[in-house]
Structure 1
Amino acid sequence: METRANFVLIGAFTLAVIAAAFGFVLWFQSLHTTKARSPIRVVFEGPATGLRNGGSVNFNGIRVGEVISVKLDNPRRVIALAMVENKAPIRKDTLVGLEFQGLTGVAAISLKGGEEAAPPVPLDEDGIPVLTADPSALQDVTEAIRATLQNVNRIVSDNQDSVKNSLRNLETFTGALARNSEKIDNVMLKVDGVMGKADSLMLGLDSIAGGKNGGELAAMVKAIKDLAEDFDKRSGLLMADGRRTLGDISRAVNNLDRNPTRLLFGAGNSAPAEAAPPPAAPRPPAAGPGPRRQQ
């Protein structure tokens, strides 16, 4: 029980340290952000179409800040409060206007130009720098929007026939699809059938090549391997027997060459000794002068 309590204390202490570290990072980041940015007030003598909270503040097209509040000071004036980076080279003669990202995008405060040697932005009563937007720049933006809309309207007007033909073709196409909906359904059913067969084929291939125990392919490969190993063993035995047989034949041929009589009389008998030639018959004595026959 005491060990479990120690574990609980260690876990709680670890979580507390992590939470403290996370809070310190957030605090340091917010402090750094606060030091890196300063408020600036922008006054629009006229409408500020499209400007809202969260809009960008761009200096020469580069984002340097963010709008944090937009309010009406009187029926003809709009005041926007923004947080801008301290490194942004904003001067008293910096031109202020509005710019849009696309035709219907959110408006952004546009800051442009200014001499490097010009004095800093003048401060308002509460110590916040104040810039007044150039009415001509706002008028230029409004005129640009109107010109863009007029160009779009002119393009549509000049291509009414093409637009009508495109819409008519689209209508014809959708009508053809509606008329052939049954055929399309049949085609889709056939496609589903083909896909089902493809799934079955893939499952079959998976059962052959994979599976829990390696699949049928692994079993076939193992059987072929076992057959090859068995054939190798048997061929080795046959070759050994062949070598012994050839040795026996070689020894028999050598023995026959040394003693060919063994082929006729066997290994235990030898050939009969050659008979000695018979002794020569005694020659009759030579005829001498015998007794003469009396007459």
Structure 2
Amino acid sequence: METRANYALIGAFTLAVVIGAFGFVFWFSGAEKPLGLNQYKVVFNGSISGLAAGNPVLFNGVRVGDVSKIDLMPDDPSRAYAIVRVDGRVPVRTDTKVKLEYTGLTGSASVALNGASSNAPIMKTSDGDPAVLFADRSDFQDLIQTAQKIAARASDILDRGDRILQDNEPAIRASVGNVQKFSDALAANSAGVKDFMAAMADVGRTIKPLTVKLETLTTDTDNVVKAVDPTQVHQMIADFSGTAAKLNTAAGKVDTTLTNLNGFLSTTDSKGVFQEVSDAAKSFKRLSDNTDARTRELFANLTRFSRDGLKEYSGLAADGRTAVGEMTKLIRSVEANPQQFLFGRK
């Protein structure tokens, strides 16, 4: 009996120690465990490839939970949703941003919770009716979509280029043939091309001194312009302005004279003056004609002047004296009464 009692006591003590150790470990590790997990329903637009159940949920880069379920929206199969479990100590508020994040280009995806102001209310959730969060498009999704658009545009451009080449194949072939002919012509006339290039080089060498001269001319012109005294320029402008003013005054006087002359010409007395002027003009005309005729005859018969040309010279002299007499009479008449010459007889 005594031996059995010792075995029972030892067994009870051992069992108590084991239970105490388990209790201590459970108590010690319980401080590091979350107080509870809150469930949220995160709705995604588009593909969520790479996301699977068990993937982490991050809050500002710290893991605070995991993904428990992934499925399609019953009313809209183009969208998907994920049920996530988040540590109850994490403040998921109404302004918390949600999006997918990827570890590298081919890594696994995670649900990232970012930003939350302390003034926004905390979202209420429960296991039976989890709060709904709408995820923003991730940077990786934007990159993939942009790459797809670029690839589509590039494919469209290549298709258009192929169609253009097919539609214009004859013209392209003709252009290539013309280029080939031109190349052959250049090869056949390489000596001429060489001479042409040499001539162009000579032209360049000839033009180079000209550019130096033009530069010198430009410098000299600039120096001349700088040497001009501005006060002299202003004085010249002032003199020109005064001359223009005098011309304007003279023009007014000329206008007045022309007006008076026009009034005189419109009177009946001007007819006598015009008649006398007309008679004088006729006399000058006859004198000019006679002089011209006599001059031609004189030069034609100059060799015979010593014999019978004196008579013709006498006639020419007589005509000249007659014309001079008429001019003398006209001049005396004007000197005697110039008012009659200008304004007619009264």
| TM class, shorter-length | 0.3 to 0.5
Calculate the TM-score normalised by the size of structure 1. Answer: 0.41
Calculate the TM-score normalised by the size of structure 2. Answer: 0.35
**Structure with more of its chain in helix, by fraction:** 2
